[in-house]
Amino acid sequence: MPSSYQAIFAAPGTRGFSAAGLLGRMPLAMMGIGIVTMISQLTGRYGLAGALSATLALSAAVLGPQISRLVDRHGQARVLRPATLVAVAAVGGLLICAQRGAPDWTLFVFAAGSGCVPSVGSMVRARWAEIYRDSPRELHTAYAWESIVDELCFIFGPIISIGLSTAWFPEAGPLLAAVFLLAGVVWLTAQRATEPVPRPREEHTGGSALRSPGLRVLVATFTATGGIFGAVDVVTVAFAEERGHKAAASLVLAVYALGSCLAGVVFGLLRPTGPAARRWLVGVCAMAVSMIPLQLAGNLPFLAVALFVAGLSIAPTMVTTMALVQAHVPRTKLTEGMTWTSTGLAVGVALGSSAAGWVVDAAGAQAGYAVPVAAGAAAVVVAFLGYRRLRGPVPTRGGHGADDRDSEGRERNDTDEAGERVA
Does the residue 111 lie in any domain? Answer: yes
Cα 188 to Cα 22: distance, rounded to the nearest angstrom: 10
The helix-helix angle for 213-242 and 334-363 (nearest 10°) equals: 30
Q: Could you tell me the residue range of the domain that residue 346 belongs to? A: 13-391
- Domain assignment present for 420: no
Whether the Cβ atoms of residue 36 and residue 161 lie closer than 8 Å to each other: no
Q: Which among 342, 350, 348, 346 has a CA at the least distance from the CA of 325?
A: 342
Measured from the Cβ of residue 385, the count of other Cβ atoms closer than 10 Å reads 12
Report DSSP state, residue 2: -
What do you get for the CA distance between the two ends of the chain, in Å? Answer: 23
CATH number reported for the structural domain that contains residue 386 in this entry: 1.20.1250.20
- Helix boundaries (H) for 190-275: 213-242, 248-269
Tell me whether residue 422 is in a domain.
no
Return all residues near 66 (Cβ < 8 A) that are at least 6 apart: none
Which of 235, 259, 268, 239 is closest to 154 using CA atoms?
259
Residue type at position 375: A
Q: Does 177 reside within a domain?
A: yes
Q: Does residue 416 form part of some domain?
A: no
- Plot region of 11 (φ>0 → left; ψ -120 to 50 → alpha; else → beta): beta
Question: How many other C-beta atoms are found inside a 10 Å radius of the C-beta of residue 12?
Answer: 10
* 2, part of any domain: no
pTM above 0.75, yes or no: no
Indicate whether 417 belongs to any domain: no
Helix, strand, or coil here: 151?
helix
Residue at 255 is within a domain: yes
> Rounded distance, CA 317 to CA 280, Å?
6
| DSSP symbol at 414 | B
Cα–Cα distance list, 206 to 130, 358, 374 (Å): 21, 41, 36
Q: For residue 57, how far is the Cα from the chain centroid?
A: 11
Amino acid sitting at position 82: P
How do the pLDDT tens digits run along the chain, 423 residues long? 556 778 888 888 899 999 999 999 888 778 887 888 888 888 877 778 878 887 887 888 788 888 888 888 888 888 999 999 999 999 999 999 988 888 889 999 999 998 888 888 889 988 988 888 878 788 878 888 888 888 788 778 877 888 888 888 888 888 999 999 999 999 999 998 888 887 655 454 555 676 778 888 999 998 999 899 888 988 888 888 888 887 788 788 888 888 888 888 888 787 777 788 888 999 999 999 999 998 888 888 899 999 999 999 998 898 888 888 877 877 777 777 888 887 888 778 778 877 888 888 888 888 889 999 999 999 999 999 988 887 765 544 434 444 444 333 333 333 333 333 333
Cα separation values, 160 from 47, 179, 247, Å = 23, 13, 10
Number of structural domains in the chain: 1
